[in-house]
A and B are shown apart, each in its own frame.
Chain A
Amino acid sequence: MGRENPDRLNLPTPREPLRAWTEIEPGVMIAVMETVMQLVKSQPDFEAQRLARKSAVKFRY
């Protein structure tokens, strides 16, 4: 095997930073949450499950 051609590793530079490709905007996330919310709320024990996550201790600041 000969030596690897170093030019083969020169990948094209993206026009935008990679982070911008992969981050989800909060607005998109909220739209997803709305859809999920509407789907799960018809489950028979949905309200009981929500209740189990509540804190009954009053918050003071």
Chain B
Amino acid sequence: MPIFASVFIALNEVSVPFLVIGGHAVVLHGHLRNTFDLDLLIADSQLAMARAALVNLGYRTYFETDAFLQLQAPEHLPPLDLMIVDDQTFARIEVTANQKVLDGRQIRIPDALRLIALKLHATRDPARRTTETDWQDIAGLVRATNRNLEDPELQTIISQYGGPGALTEIQRRVIGS
């Protein structure tokens, strides 16, 4: 039973660009794991339009910060989060995005490197209860997309977004597995 298409259609109708991130993007890159919500990346300048379209579908705000909007879903739609980034960040991630099909709709996901950057960013928030899923995702993305850990671009991403110790952690999970 497709439950995501309504969200994609609603955002497309108001011309809000978005990228599917989180567990669905990880799965679409080939690393299979479960997830309980749909995560979308949108630009700051699109937030008001996106929120209005989603409220029209029956979503209600559960919690929000300047970094994300957590939405409570009506019965027939998926739990949904919007990760909000500045317009320049969105444009930089969008430019290398990959086209995929989800629920029969054309959608875009960040390429593996940008998705790894997003995941590394999440591991560095001390307020998060656990980062285990993020590390598993990162290792899974490296394996699923046949990334070489010696690749200078990947190493730059790891160093910039994961900080000290991140490369060792990824090597342990990828090579040690």
Q: What residues of chain A have their CB less than 8 Å away from a CB belonging to chain B?
A: 24, 26, 29-30, 32-38, 40-41, 46-47, 50-61
CB of B125 within 8 A of CB of A57, answer yes
Our pick among B3, B81, B125 for the contact of A56 (Cβ within 8 Å) is B125
CB of A52 within 8 A of CB of B129, answer yes
Given the contacts A37-B36, A50-B37, A58 and B4 also touching, CB distance less than 8 Å: no
User: Taking chain A's interface residues, is the majority helix, strand, or loop, or is none over half, making it mixed?
Assistant: helix
Is B176 among interface residues, defined by CB-CB distance under 8 A? Answer: no
A25 to B32, CA, bound (A): 9
A41 to B75, CA, bound (A): 9
**B33 → chain A closest CB, angstroms:** 8
A-B contact count (CB 8 A): 103
Is B174 among interface residues, defined by CB-CB distance under 8 A? Answer: no
A1 to B92, CA, bound (A): 71
Interface residue count on the B side (C-beta < 8 Å): 47
CB of B67 within 8 A of CB of A33, answer no
Our pick among B32, B92, B122 for the contact of A29 (Cβ within 8 Å) is B32
**A33 → chain B closest CB, angstroms:** 6
A50 to B133, CA, bound (A): 13
Q: Mark B19-50, 1 if CB is under 8 A from A, else 0.
A: 00001100110101011110000000000000
